Amino acid sequence: MGSVKDFEVIKKPTESEMGVGRFHFSDRYSVFDWGEMPDQIKGKGLALCMMGAYCFERLEKKGIRTHYRGLVDEKGNVVYFDDLLKPTNIMEFHLVNVYKPKAYLEDGKLKYDYSIYSPSLKNFLIPLEIIYRNGLPEGSSVFKRLEQGLVTIEDLGLDHYPKVGEKLNKPIFDVSTKLEESDRYITWREAKQMVSLTDSELDEIKSIILKVDGTITELASEADLVNEDGKIELAFDNNRRLMVADVVGTLDECRFTYKGLHVSKEIARIYYRQTEWAKRVERAKQEAKEKGLKDWRVLVDLKTPNLDQNLKSLISDMYMAAANSITKRKLFDVPSLSEIMKNYKDYMEGKI
């Protein structure tokens, strides 16, 4: 069970053979790595599953290997998107091993041992999140990292200090840890050493990111959306061939915009950033880092707030309408995405 989807093992993987797993997408949501939040967003699980499956199938048509096997329909059959009669929240995929790095304390600091990864290891989830950025909308972590001196414009491949809303001439690729208590950005050199990647594997990873980014950008454009940034995860299969894993192309993995308005989980983040709870979360993460504590959540002494009810309803409609637009199929009985985003703009301006 994860914060937003449940995980079912149909067949366990071995060291040499992939297994079979299923994601059961839920209506839960998470922000700031907190885990399950107090509300549920109606229709979100179905919408994410449909968007993810549609994107996986588009990637495979372009020759990009993925772990996707299909969707589980109401009769329990595994089918592809076009053969599905009504939305499902269950996706089946090839299952690989997950090797978590061992946490340890050194000089009061929490560190991780990645020695389990070797150049001969096969059939495993790569413990990295890979982020592509085509633009820098409001809320992009790039601005915060620049302000804190955690990254330079040279590190990002830029020749100037970026502005909020800027579109990039070519995408920026970032990489962060995936299986640590809190994700942290690292350099590509660190990523290569951490996972024992070869030069050619690292080059192939960057090539795959570019292709996935391009495909999601196409899908978004067809739905009148802008693909600002997003994340992907990768795995090695039982022959140590790269494949796209987890889920891609959804409103939780990507930051889309519509005429400058966010169409993604960022809407919930924007709401929560205004709360004292979110400020306490940031302080707790920093405090835990300084004290070498593994679980920063125990330091948050405020109750997790609920979403505003009007906003929750708008977010629900947004997920379902985005799934309709991206898949070009009337999966959900909701207004058009353009109408919902007009309502969201009115909400932001205090008219609702």
Contact 208, 234 (CB under 8 A): yes
Residue 1, pLDDT above cutoff 70: no
Contacts of 326 (CB under 8 A, 6+ apart): 51, 54, 55, 219, 220, 222, 223, 225, 249
Contact 123, 18 (CB under 8 A): yes
pTM greater than the 0.75 cutoff: yes
Kindly state the tokens that stand for 59.
Answer: 């990637």
Closest by CA position to 230, among listed 152, 146, 141: 141
- DSSP secondary structure string for all residues of 20-44: EEEEEE-S---STT--S-S---TTH
Kindly state the tokens that stand for 24.
Answer: 């059961």
How many separate domains does the chain show? 1
Residue 64's SS3 state is coil
Report pLDDT for 212: 98
- Give the pLDDT band of residue 24 (cuts 50, 70, 90): very high
Q: What is the mean pLDDT of the chain?
A: 94
DSSP H or E stretch at residue 9: strand 5-11
- Give the pLDDT band of residue 68 (cuts 50, 70, 90): very high
pLDDT in tens, 266-297: 999 999 999 999 999 999 999 988 888 878 99
Contact 205, 219 (CB under 8 A): no
Tally Cβ neighbours within 10 Å of residue 334: 20
Residue 233's SS3 state is strand
Report pLDDT for 2: 66
Dihedral sign computed on CA atoms, order 141, 146, 150, 156? positive
User: Containing domain of residue 143, as a range?
Assistant: 5-348
Report pLDDT for 351: 74
pLDDT in tens, 287-342: 988 888 878 999 999 999 999 999 999 999 999 999 999 999 999 999 999 999 99
Report pLDDT for 149: 87
Contact 300, 288 (CB under 8 A): no
Residue 65, pLDDT above cutoff 80: yes
- DSSP secondary structure string for all residues of 88-117: -SEEEEEE-B--PPEEEEETTEEEEE-TT-
- Mean pLDDT across the stretch 133-144? 86
pLDDT in tens, 112-123: 999 999 999 999
Which amino acid makes up residue 255? R
Report pLDDT for 293: 83
Q: How far apart are CA 74 and CA 51, in angstroms?
A: 18
pLDDT in tens, 180-222: 987 889 999 999 999 999 999 999 999 999 999 999 999 999 9
Which CATH number fits the domain that encloses residue 135? 3.30.470.20
Closest by CA position to 240, among listed 207, 203, 198: 198
Report pLDDT for 333: 97
pLDDT in tens, 235-277: 999 999 999 999 999 999 999 999 999 999 999 999 999 999 9
Lowest mean pLDDT among 36-50, 85-99, 153-167: 153-167
Report pLDDT for 211: 97
What percentage of the chain has pLDDT greater than the value 90?
80
pLDDT in tens, 148-172: 888 888 888 888 898 888 899 899 9
